[in-house]
Structure 1
Amino acid sequence: MFNTLRDAAKIGMGAVWLSRENIRKFTDELIEMGRVSKEEGERLCDEIGESQDEYKNKLNDLVDNAVQKALDTSGLARKSEVEELRQKVAELEMKLKSK
């Protein structure tokens, strides 16, 4: 399980951690060097940002699924299950007090 999480985290980490500011600087440099027009630079910046958002979402889903799978196989109780048991205990305590 650890290997799966580690591998998921490694995939494309550079792209995920690039800030919008760094993406903007990169495209501004391309514009200044004359490699792309201002319009192309803007579009490139937008596309990289959108791709970055999509990748972050996919990575989050992958990690969430891996963690969920690990929890399902670990036998640990979920927060909702613990809360349900607390409510049942509270109900039983109330019944015992009323007798």
Structure 2
Amino acid sequence: MKELLKNMIYTGVGAAFLTRDKLDEIRKELVDRGNLTREEGKEFVEDLLKKSDSARDQLELWLSRQVEERIKGLNLATTDEVEELRRKIEELQVALNSREQPKANNGDAEDTEDA
């Protein structure tokens, strides 16, 4: 569910996340037209890549928070909560088995005495 939501939002804002290849293409065009020097073009691409990475990180963080909030709103048990319940069930089973075992042993002793 989290991945699906992430992919939907990435699709919606995909234009904001240009690839290095696309940015290099834009840089080359600007340098060829004389709008930028080679050094300015290189700085331009690096700056946009950093901003794109930062925007992607912020979007992923925001998405994670949104998904977590939605899941909490559904009142679903977390993996940790389920594991805790499993652990408690196992403890109860051990305790129950240890209580039943002496009774079973006592029952055997009574059967031999009656015979």
Structure 1: 5+ residue stretches without partners: none
- Distance in 2 (alpha carbons) for counterparts of 1:98 and 1:28: 77
Query: Are residues 1:94 and 2:94 paired?
Result: yes
Matched to 1:83, the amino acid is E
Greater RCO between the two (CA within 8 Å, min separation 6)?
1
Q: Give the drift of 1:41.
A: 0.5
Q: Residues 33 and 80 from structure 1, CA distance in 2 versus in 1: closer, same or farther, beyond 3 angstroms? A: same
- Distance in 2 (alpha carbons) for counterparts of 1:44 and 1:24: 9
Which structure has the bigger radius of gyration?
2
Structure 2: 5+ residue stretches without partners: 100-115
Q: Which moved more, 1:84-93 or 1:55-64?
A: 84-93
Match of 2:45 in 1: 45
Match of 2:72 in 1: 72
Q: Give the drift of 1:13.
A: 2.6
Q: Which moved more, 1:81-90 or 1:63-72?
A: 81-90
Once superposed, what is the RMSD of the aligned Cα atoms? 2.0
Query: Could you tell me the TM-score, scaled by structure 2's length?
Result: 0.69
User: SS of the residue aligned with 1:76?
Assistant: coil
Query: Could you tell me the TM-score, scaled by structure 1's length?
Result: 0.79
